[in-house]
């Protein structure tokens, strides 16, 4: 069913009738009005931007009204639920990856894991900014001095890649650093910025690029994984098998030298890349776990491995930037289980723990050792951090 237009929305919600309306439903109305202006535009980018706003505003309204039982609210809930479904379907008709991302984001908004802030600029359309709730179970931030990557990115208005925390940490540990901040976990942004000169001096003119690659939305969605009955694939059409091919053992093609890097964003969307391929694509920029979500908070991040059929066989919380705890990995497994993955056949690795465990039991809080005979392809190093 095509997305209802603004007039149909007014009629079905009673905005033009006997019921009054407040700011929350007015935001939905305004977003739909904005979409009506570009509904027949040849520019799919404009359509997607407007559709995303319709979906977010509808999810935000539903989150705020989920405990309300008035007749007026009940009637409007059905209309706005239909509107949300229609908006995501329209997004999917343009881009499947965008639709999956929007569906999970709206689910997070509806459950209040993520809060929405309505912004009304003096000029231009209504905007909705998402902020992770303080009590959200899905929130892991970048740790220590690495967090200044995101600070630097915001200082640059998200228009260019920020300084690499990995490279600045290397400069910080060098004997050339004489700054007053001796603790990397507490270093101030100003001192972080000064480290670039030390880094470039230490490189002696060789690869003095001190930046880290931060994916924009369109870049990130290329590496968004979808799961159908336990089988993963890239919605962008990229080959998951080919992406992992580079880390096959040369002497035994059934073995992997190391897994891929992954990050799961605060909505439960899973992104993964082979580190060496990603590094090659970014030229001389650093690539690490923060690259996927541009330094934003995540559910979890670490290492991940799939077999040649697209089944998940291994996942860890091994990330030096985020250092997710065991609970973070459990949260990611809950999202993965919803995708139909058989966790009894998945091995997990833990940061700071040499053991390997069965994912299904670990999700429930028990550490059952993994039998290496179940999947010899797991005889690889889990040394990919970042």
Q: How far apart are CA 239 and CA 225, in angstroms?
A: 11
Assign 385 a pLDDT band (cuts: 50, 70, 90): very low
> How much is the pLDDT for 80?
93
> How much is the pLDDT for 114?
63
Q: At what angle do helices 6-13 and 23-38 cross, to 10 degrees?
A: 150
Cα distances (angstroms) measured from residue 253 to each of 208, 250, 273, 340, 372: 36, 6, 19, 28, 17
> How much is the pLDDT for 20?
52
Query: Average per-residue pLDDT in the chain?
Result: 85
Percentage of residues of the chain with pLDDT beyond 70: 83
pLDDT, tens only, 125-142: 555 555 565 556 668 999
Q: How far apart are CA 309 and CA 232, in angstroms?
A: 8
Other Cβ atoms within 10 Å of 293 Cβ, number: 22
298 in helix, strand or coil?
strand
Q: What is the dihedral of CA 327, 328, 330, 332, to 10 degrees?
A: 170
Q: What is the DSSP letter of 286?
A: B
> How much is the pLDDT for 124?
46
> How much is the pLDDT for 133?
56
Q: How far apart are CA 315 and CA 378, in angstroms?
A: 11
For 52-68, what is the mean pLDDT? 88
pLDDT, tens only, 216-261: 998 999 999 999 989 999 988 888 888 887 655 545 445 555 789 9
For 135-162, what is the mean pLDDT? 89
Residue 121 confidence (pLDDT) above 50: no
Q: How far apart are CA 240 and CA 273, in angstroms?
A: 9
Cα distances (angstroms) measured from residue 36 to each of 6, 7, 33, 301, 349: 7, 10, 5, 39, 49
Residue scoring higher pLDDT (360 or 374): 360
Cα distances (angstroms) measured from residue 249 to each of 243, 280, 302, 331, 371: 14, 19, 21, 31, 21
Per the CB < 8 A criterion, the answer to whether 346 and 362 are in contact is: no
Residue scoring higher pLDDT (53 or 308): 53
> How much is the pLDDT for 132?
60
Give the angle subtended at the CA of 126 by the CAs of 16 and 139, to the nearest 5°.
120
pLDDT, tens only, 264-317: 998 899 999 998 888 888 777 899 999 999 999 999 999 999 988 889 999 999
**Which tokens go with 256?**
């992997």
For 169-186, what is the mean pLDDT? 83
For 54-73, what is the mean pLDDT? 86
pLDDT, tens only, 189-227: 999 999 998 998 887 767 678 999 999 998 999 999 999
DSSP per position, 245-259 = HTTB-SS-TT-BSS-
pLDDT, tens only, 329-371: 999 999 999 999 999 999 999 999 988 999 999 999 999 999 8
For 90-113, what is the mean pLDDT? 89
Buried b (16+ CB within 10 A) or exposed e, 356-368: bbbbbbbbeeeee
Q: How far apart are CA 101 and CA 59, in angstroms?
A: 14
Other Cβ atoms within 10 Å of 184 Cβ, number: 16
CA 371 to chain centre: 31
Assign 115 a pLDDT band (cuts: 50, 70, 90): low
Q: How far apart are CA 321 and CA 174, in angstroms?
A: 19
> How much is the pLDDT for 376?
53
Q: How far apart are CA 212 and CA 43, in angstroms?
A: 31
pTM of model > 0.75: yes
Residue scoring higher pLDDT (187 or 68): 187
Q: At what angle do helices 6-13 and 71-94 cross, to 10 degrees?
A: 160
Strands annotated E in the chain: 114-119, 127-132, 224-228, 231-234, 260-265, 270-273, 298-306, 312-316, 347-350, 353-358
SS (H, E, C) 101-148: HHHHHHHHHHCCCEEEEEECCCCCCCEEEEEECCCCCCCECCCHHHHH
Q: What is the DSSP letter of 159?
A: S
Q: What is the DSSP letter of 300?
A: E
């Amino acid at each position: 069913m095509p997305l209802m237009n603004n007039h149909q929305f007014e009629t079905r919600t009673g905005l033009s009738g006997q019921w009054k309306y407040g700011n929350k439903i007015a935001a939905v109305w305004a977003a739909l009005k904005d979409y009506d202006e570009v509904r027949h535009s040849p520019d799919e980018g404009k359509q997607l931007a407007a559709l995303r706003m319709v979906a977010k505003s509808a999810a935000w309204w539903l989150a705020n009204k989920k405990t309300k039982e008035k007749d007026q609210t009940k009637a409007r809930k059905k209309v706005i639920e239909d509107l949300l479904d229609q908006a995501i379907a329209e997004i999917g008709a343009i881009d499947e990856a965008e639709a999956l991302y929007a569906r999970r984001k709206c689910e997070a908004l509806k459950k209040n894991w993520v809060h929405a802030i309505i912004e009304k600029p003096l000029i231009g359309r209504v905007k909705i900014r998402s902020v992770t709730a303080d009590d959200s179970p899905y929130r892991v931030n970048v740790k220590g001095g690495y967090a200044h990557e995101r600070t630097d990115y915001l200082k640059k208005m998200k228009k260019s890649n920020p300084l690499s925390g990995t490279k600045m940490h290397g400069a910080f540990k060098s004997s050339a650093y004489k700054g007053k901040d001796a603790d990397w976990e507490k270093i101030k942004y100003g001192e972080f910025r000064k480290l670039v000169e030390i880094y470039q001096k230490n490189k002696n003119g060789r690869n003095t690029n001190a930046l880290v690659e931060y994916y924009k939305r369109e870049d990130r969605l290329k590496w968004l994984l979808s799961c159908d009955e336990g089988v993963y694939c890239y919605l962008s059409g990229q080959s998951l098998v080919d992406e992992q091919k580079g880390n096959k053992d040369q002497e035994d093609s059934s073995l992997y030298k190391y897994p891929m890097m992954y990050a799961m964003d605060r909505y439960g969307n899973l992104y993964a890349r082979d580190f060496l391929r990603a590094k090659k694509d970014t030229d001389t920029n650093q690539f690490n776990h923060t690259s996927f979500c541009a330094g934003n908070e995540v559910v979890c991040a670490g290492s991940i491995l799939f077999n040649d059929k697209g089944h998940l066989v291994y996942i860890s919380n091994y990330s030096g930037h985020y250092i997710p705890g065991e609970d973070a990995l459990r949260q990611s497994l809950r999202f993965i289980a919803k995708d139909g993955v058989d966790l009894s056949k998945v091995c997990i690795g833990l940061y700071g723990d040499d053991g390997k465990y069965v994912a299904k039991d670990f999700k429930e809080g028990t550490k059952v050792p993994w039998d290496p005979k179940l999947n010899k392809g797991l005889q690889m190093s889990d040394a990919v951090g970042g």
